[in-house]
Structures are given as structure tokens and as C-alpha cells.
């Protein structure tokens, strides 16, 4: 598929998806979000892709959020349609049975922060900043910001960020659990590749079960999450990779996983 608002590259079992509207800080419109969904579907369905990376073009922004020009003419129905459309890629990122990494350079605001938060791992450059400034333009976060941010940084800090529209630095975001790792801008891709190298050495089928189990923990009470974990744990033993992993450990050699 040909994309106009994103870049899609597959290399060494990794799908690199770049939000590509740098002239407007990679702001999100219907076209970009639809293309992002298509790219995620393409990467999800490709068995050669083991890790997905989402980043933004240019040095200024990962994504500064929604294109505010759209807001001027919207009715409530238009806004609800936008929310439904945009939530699909955010939700799909969580559903994809493969690790998704956000490589954040520059601003990650509003919908940009929400895309990053949907990813499994966030690695940011020192010049990155995060925030949910939607209240400044007369709306609330509409793609998970009111739901996910509090789960990551706690209720009080999430309310502070959303009510005040303040931004936090990558350093503070890391300290508060929003970001996994912060590195100098010129080391950002190198840091992402280091994480990818560790992930691709693992079993894809076991990785899938691990992601499903963790996601389930955020959606159900602890007792149900523990039950689900036991079920996912049991499913591991129906895979060839589980036997290979155990055998390789006992034989003191590197495992040769097949994803089965």
C-alpha cells in the first residue's frame, strides 16, 4: 500500500512506522490515522515482523496531537466520529500480539502522548516532552488520555497534567513511570535497536501470551487477572518453543525458537 501521511519500512524483522507530517509537527488528521491503522494491520499480519516501532518525522515532534484546524467546524457527531476513528489505532496497538515501541523525539502532546502511551515500551530522547493540553482548546483527551495516563502516573498527577495542561520533560516522565528510558537525541535509535535485539531473540508465541496476560491485568480485578495468568501460563506448555526454551537452558545453549 502507498502511504501519503506516514512512512512504512520493514527491515530485519522490524516494521518502522513514521508519522510523516513534520511541517505541522506530525499532527493527526483522519488521513494520517487511517493510514496508521492500515500500517499497523499490515505489520500485524506479516509473520516476518516481530517488533513494531512508531516514531515521528523530523526533530521537533513525535506528534503534537490532533490537527486543531478540524475542530472549528465540528459538530458533536463529527467529534464522536473522530473519537471512534482515532481510538482504533490506539486500541489496535494494544491488541497486536507483538511488542510495539514508541521512539519519541520532541513533542508528544495530546493524541501524540496517547499514541505513545498505547505502545508497550516508550524510549524517549532527552528533548522529548509529554502532555495532555486538550483543555486549552476546549476539549478533554479523547483517545485514552483520561484513562491510561492515570494508570501510568497515578490519579493525582494525571489530573494535574490534564487540568493545568502542563508538559513534563522526558526525565520526569521516566521518573513517574510514563517512559521506560531516556537517552541523548543522537543515541535514540541506537537505544531502540538495543531493546529490539533483546526482544527478537525471544519466542514470538510466548511474547504474545505475555502481552495478553499483562494487558488483561489492567482490565479486570486482581483475582481474575491471577486466574487469567494461570491460564496463559498453561498455554505456554502447549507450544514447541516452551520445550525448546527449557531444553536449551538445561543444555546451556541459545534456544532456537520457531514461533510454534
- Of residues 2 and 152, which shows the higher confidence score? 152
Q: What is the pLDDT of residue 139?
A: 86
Instruction: Delineate the domains of the chain, giving CATH numbers in brackets.
Output: 6-200 (3.90.226.10), 204-250 (1.10.12.10)
Q: What are the tens digits of pLDDT across the range 44-103?
A: 999 999 999 999 999 899 999 877 777 777 788 877 777 776 667 888 899 999 999 999
Q: Which of 130, 135, 210 is nearest to 170 (CA)?
A: 130
Q: Does the active-site annotation cover 219?
A: no
pLDDT at 30: 85
Q: Residue 19: is its pLDDT beyond 90? A: yes
Judged against a pLDDT cut of 70, whether residue 109 lies above it is answered with: yes
Distances from the Cα of 1 to the Cαs of 38, 42, 114, 117, 259, in angstroms? 9, 9, 25, 27, 27
Q: How far are the Cα atoms of 18, 176, 235, 243, 258 from residue 142, in angstroms, in the given order?
A: 22, 22, 36, 44, 40
pLDDT at 4: 94
What's the pLDDT tens digit per position in 185-220?
A: 999 999 999 999 999 999 999 999 999 999 988 888
Nearest to 244 by CA among 236, 49, 199: 236
pLDDT score recorded for residue 87: 67
List all residues 6 or more positions away from 241 whose beta carbon is below 8 Å from its beta carbon.
Answer: 203, 205, 206, 255, 257, 258, 259, 260
Name the grid cell of 115.
499514541
What integer pLDDT is reported at residue 91 of this predicted model?
86
More confident residue, 15 or 139: 15
254 — pLDDT class (breaks 50, 70, 90): very high
User: How confident is residue 184, by pLDDT bands cut at 50, 70 and 90?
Assistant: very high
Between CA 151 and CA 134 the distance in angstroms is 19
Strand partners, 10: 15
Query: Band of the pLDDT at 180, cuts 50, 70, 90?
Result: very high
Q: Which of 59, 114, 175, 244 is catalytic?
A: 114
pLDDT digits (tens, 9 = 90+) for 144-162: 888 899 999 999 999 999 9
Pair 241, 206: CB distance under 8 Å: yes
**Does the active-site annotation cover 175?**
no
The active-site residue, picked from 4, 9, 91, 134, is 134
Amino acid at each position: 500500500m502507498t502511504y501519503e501521511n506516514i512512512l512504512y519500512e520493514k527491515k530485519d524483522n522490524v516494521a518502522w512506522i513514521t508519522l510523516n507530517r513534520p511541517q505541522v509537527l506530525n499532527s493527526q488528521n483522519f488521513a494520517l490515522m487511517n493510514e496508521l491503522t492500515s500500517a499497523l494491520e499490515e505489520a500485524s499480519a506479516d509473520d516476518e515482523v516481530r517488533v513494531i516501532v512508531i516514531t515521528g518525522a523530523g526533530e521537533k515532534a513525535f506528534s503534537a496531537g490532533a490537527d486543531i484546524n478540524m475542530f472549528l467546524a465540528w459538530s458533536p457527531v463529527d467529534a464522536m466520529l473522530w473519537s471512534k476513528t482515532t481510538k482504533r489505532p490506539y486500541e489496535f496497538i494494544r491488541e497486536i500480539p507483538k511488542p510495539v515501541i514508541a521512539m519519541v523525539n520532541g513533542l508528544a502532546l495530546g493524541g501524540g502522548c496517547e499514541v505513545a502511551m498505547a505502545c508497550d515500551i516508550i524510549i524517549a530522547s532527552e528533548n522529548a516532552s509529554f502532555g495532555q493540553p486538550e483543555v486549552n482548546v476546549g476539549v478533554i483527551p479523547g483517545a485514552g488520555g483520561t484513562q491510561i495516563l492515570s494508570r501510568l502516573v497515578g490519579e493525582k498527577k494525571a489530573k494535574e497534567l490534564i487540568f493545568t495542561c502542563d508538559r513534563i520533560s522526558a526525565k520526569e516522565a521516566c521518573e513517574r513511570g510514563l517512559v521506560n528510558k531516556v537517552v541523548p537525541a543522537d543515541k535514540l535509535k541506537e537505544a531502540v535497536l538495543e531493546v529490539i535485539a533483546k526482544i527478537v531473540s525471544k519466542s514470538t508465541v510466548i511474547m504474545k501470551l505475555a502481552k495478553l496476560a499483562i494487558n488483561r491485568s489492567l482490565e479486570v480485578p486482581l483475582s481474575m487477572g491471577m486466574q487469567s495468568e494461570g491460564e496463559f501460563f498453561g498455554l505456554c506448555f502447549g507450544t514447541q518453543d516452551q520445550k525448546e526454551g527449557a531444553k536449551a537452558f538445561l543444555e546451556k545453549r541459545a534456544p532456537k525458537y520457531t514461533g510454534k
